[in-house]
Amino acid sequence: MKHNYLWMVVILSIASLQLTACGQTPATTAGEDKPALVEHLEGAEPTRVTLTEDAAKRLDLQTAAVRDMMVNGTQRTVIPYGAIIYDTEGNTWIYANPEPFIFVRHPITVDHIEGDEAILSDALPSGSRVVTAGAAELYGSELEFEEE
């Protein structure tokens, strides 16, 4: 009997969550009541996400500087491993942060991982900023706020 009661609670909880989501409308532009503007740029699938200041605070986005360092006698671009996101096809991406509240998704090629650092095959501008915490939420905002 207790087992049946537990299942009923789980089912009712899921149903109530789905009903509360029905009234939400996705935003397509950043502004007073819309947290993000998603723009598809020219080139190899880059996307720019512009957030409101409040949205950026809620996501608690963190960034780190891109570094150049010698790896096995070759100058390489190094980023924190936490900056890498993977899409559903296994492609690797980072979000660059060229200006406050602007985040641009770029494809990258990872040569190898050493601890919590990723050594890239391609170069990013040294000193530029990459998102290390909150990149998955930015990627999700591309899917959530994309116009259909």
Question: Where does the pLDDT of residue 6 fall: very low under 50, low under 70, confident under 90, or very high at 90 and above?
Answer: very low
CATH of domain 27-144: 2.40.420.20
In the block, residue with structure tokens 């990149």: 135
Task: Yes or no: say if 42 and 50 are a contact pair by the CB < 8 Å rule.
Answer: no
Q: How far apart are CA 120 and CA 94, in angstroms?
A: 11
**Three-state DSSP state, 80:** strand
Q: How far apart are CA 97 and CA 36, in angstroms?
A: 15
Q: How far apart are CA 102 and CA 63, in angstroms?
A: 12
Kindly state the percentage of the chain with pLDDT values over 90.
Answer: 35
**Residue 64 pLDDT > 90:** yes
Tokens describing residue 133: 């915490």
Q: Using one digit for the tens of pLDDT, what is the confidence trace for 117-141?
A: 999 988 788 888 999 998 888 888 7
Question: Where does the pLDDT of residue 81 fall: very low under 50, low under 70, confident under 90, or very high at 90 and above?
Answer: very high
Q: How far apart are CA 52 and CA 32, in angstroms?
A: 8
pLDDT, average across residues 84-90: 90
**Residue 7 pLDDT > 60:** no
Q: What are the φ/ψ torsions at residue 119 (nearest 5 degrees)? A: -100, 125
Q: Using one digit for the tens of pLDDT, what is the confidence trace for 94-119?
A: 999 999 999 999 899 999 999 999 99
pTM score: 0.69
